[in-house]
Amino acid sequence: MDDQIRRMKANPGDKLVDRNCSTCEFNFGDVCAGHGVRNDNGEDTYGMPIEEADKLFPDGCDDFGISLTSFIEQEKLNGR
């Protein structure tokens, strides 16, 4: 859980936005720019279509980091 809090840039007890490709800083619209490891073939996630990444990683991959937009939304959820 500590890793989750760190990746979400949150404090213990905070409400969190969902951790997935749509809230990830490496979502570049149509492609993933993260360097996670695909669980279907062991290759790097960099450059894979974001629709495919969403299916493979419904909870985000190992390289997940919260996007600025999602961080702002999360801060609002917590009254900040």
| pLDDT tens for each residue of 9-35 | 898 899 999 999 999 999 999 999 999
Greatest Cα-to-Cα distance within the chain, rounded to the nearest angstrom: 42
Q: Is residue 66 part of a domain?
A: yes
**If we measure between CA atoms, which residue out of 25, 23, 30 comes closest to residue 49?**
30
Is residue 75 a part of any domain in this protein?
yes
CA distances from 9 to 13, 16, 45, 75 (A): 12, 10, 22, 10
In a domain, residue 28? The reply is yes
Question: Does a structural domain hold residue 24?
Answer: yes
pLDDT band at 43 (very low <50, low <70, confident <90, very high): very high
Residue 34 lies in a domain: yes
In a domain, 22, yes or no: yes
- Model confidence, pTM: 0.84
What is the domain extent for residue 32? 1-42+60-80
3-state secondary structure of 15: coil
